[in-house]
Every structure is written in structure tokens, then in C-alpha cells.
Amino acid sequence: MLLFRPWCGVMVTWVAFAHMTWCHWLYSGQYMGTFPFVGYFMVLVLRLGSVAYNYQDGLLPEERLSKTQALFRINSLPNILEYLGYVSQGYMSVGPHVDYVDYIQYTKTEGRWSRKEKTPNPLPAASVALARTAVFGYLTFKTARLAPVAFLKSYAYNHTYSFWRRLGYQLLVFEHQRFMCYAMWSCFEAAWVLSGQGFSGWHNGKPAWAGAVNVRVLGSELAKHPAAIWANWNIHTGLWLRHYVYERLTPPGQKPGFLQLAATQMVSSIWHGPYLGQALFRLNGSVIIMSGRVLYKYQTRLVDRYPALKLPTRVLMWAYTQLTHGTNRMAFFVSVLTIRDIWRVFGSLYYLQMLVPLIIVLLGRLFPLEARAKEVTLEKQAANTAGLRKKSKKDA
């Protein structure tokens, strides 16, 4: 950062990702489904990359900065104490990621944490998060016995279960994994709220804690389209990918497309580890999101013509979202399933989680339907979290 400021963001991120990938490879196969120490380093990589990019952005003129870059850029090099405090602060096991500017304002009681401002009461929000932790911790314990991931490799699953039973089992495994993440993130949400660092401003006279929320349970469970799943899941890592990969790969004045989406998903795949299952999950996830955009266009036109179909089409869109994402999620369990196991699990459903989204995308290319000027795109809907965060900062 000190020697190569114009390119320090790119250089730091590439070097950190390379070292993290080596750690993933070095210790692969030793976790057996447990949480590895590399998980702490994964969060550290996000912090190193963001602070380097923010410092790099400090050289750019105002007119070349995006709203996010202008919000988080750093004009002067952090001193060694601030830098070490930022990259080594607590909550590193599962996040959430916090940008350097927010961390400095929090430690110096500036901005929305200023002592001149009204102090929010963290107890109600923390109590809700702890209660959610207990509920989903219990559900995780119960579903772990009902749906072990290793059973996907068994003879009984592959040769005695019917198609519908295999589908149901995969969805149960998916829900178990979601329950576990809900419990884990809710626990750290409570800690983040109690520390005060998760405070994101005031909304309608009440304190908002968007900085602590890393998952929205209802937003994930009731997602109306595939993009909403990603917008409500691992929120702060998703914002990091959006701000430091997705937006920076999009040329100025142009709209992001499949290449930017696929590249962002691949960066996420590398961040999670150099596993073919991760790459398959992310690439197919990109196709699922693109298929959701196609379906969304047809859904809005159909509802405009036949308003009575609004509820049925929403239910069908929700079912498509949960089925495709849930079955595609089987590729995520790389600590238990090899790529051959994952491919066999996909084949147990006749690869429908891959073929159906791909066919929808191809049909959308062959029979394009232009979006109307008044339509709200899925991309804008998926960016609601970032917009809320920026609004809270301004209110503060």
C-alpha cells in the first residue's frame, strides 16, 4: 500500500487470495465437516482487500468515483495501530465484514456513533437475535439426525429412493444447512449489536442494526426470485463482492451482464476454496440467477395482462427459486462429498437443477422480451441492502 498505491488494491487482493487458496489446498480433507481455521483467514482477506482498495480509491478524482467508492475511500495511509486494530479485531470467525471507514468512526465515536447523537438501546435487538439463535440451534440439532449429508452417497439413497423422495431428502439437507447458518450468524449478530458496532442509524425513530445482520431469515426462506436468495444470505460478504468485484468489473456507463455475474461468482468460489464443487455451485448459480431474470420479465407482463395470476405466479416463482437453489446447494458440501459424489447427486435428479435454468436462459435469448422503462429490475431489488445501508449512513 505504501509503495504501489495506484495498484495496491489489486495487488493486495491477488496476493491474499493466492495465499488463502494455498491454505485451503494444504489443509483440504482434514476438516471432516468441522469449521477450519482458514475460515478466520477468509474474513481477514476481505478486510485486507477492502482497505487496500479504499486507499487506492483515494487517488481518484471525485467525478470518477462511484457512490460506494466515495463513501469508503481513504485519503491518507492508516497508522500502524489503526491498521492492525482493523485487520485483527474480533468476530473474525464468521464475519460480518466491516469496512475500514466504519471501523474508524466506531473506535473514535464519530459519525453515527458520535456521543453527541442519541445512544441506541441494543438489548431488544440482541434479545431477538439470541432467541433466534436458540430456535435455529435446536432445529439444527434435530435435522442433523434426520438428514446427514453423507447419506447422499449411500446405496439406499441412490438405488431405493424414488425421484420425489430423493428431491425431498436434498431439500431437507438444504434446510439443515440453512438452520445451522441461521443459528451461527444470529449468535454473532447479537454480539455485534451488543458491542454497538452493528448500529447503522435511525429508521422511523427506531435504531437500525443493518451492520450486524448477515442473513435475513424470511428474505431467504420466502425469496421471490433467485437473486433475492443471494441478497439475503451472507449479506456483508455479498456486499464486499458487489462493491469490490461486480461493480469494478462493469465498464463505466454500461450495465453488468452475465460475464460480470459469473466472474463475481467465481471469485466467491475461490474465496470458499479451490474445489470443483464450489465452482460448479457458483457457475450454475449464475445461470439460475439469469433464468430468474427471464422468468421475472414474463411474470410481470403476464400479471399486467391477467391480474388474477399475481399470487399463483409468485408461488410458482418462489417454488422455482427454492427448488433450484436448494438442489444446487448440494455442490457446496465439499468437505463431505467429492466432485464425483456431487455429480452423482445431481444425476439422481436427472440434472434438472442445471438443465431447466439453462433451457430458460436459452429460450430468453431466442425469444427476448425487453424490460419496460417502469419495471424494477432484479438487480436493483437485490441491491436494496446496500441502498438501505447508505441511507442509514446519511441519516446518521
* Active-site residue list: 272
Q: How far apart are CA 28 and CA 338, in angstroms?
A: 12
Under 8 Å between Cβ of 341 and 152 = yes
Q: What angle do CA 304, 297, 253 make, to 5 degrees?
A: 125
| Burial of 256 per CB tally in 10 Å (0-12, 13-18, 19+) | middle
Distance, CA of 127 to chain centre: 24
174 vs 223: CA distance, rounded Å:
15
Nearest to 207 by CA among 219, 191, 196, 218: 196
Q: Where are the alpha helices (DSSP H) in 254-275?
A: 258-272
Alpha-carbon distance 47 to 171, whole Å?
34
**117: CB partners within 8 A, 6+ apart:** 396
Question: Which residue, chain included where needed, has cell 495498484?
Answer: 7
Q: Can you tell me whether residue 98 is helix, strand or coil?
A: coil
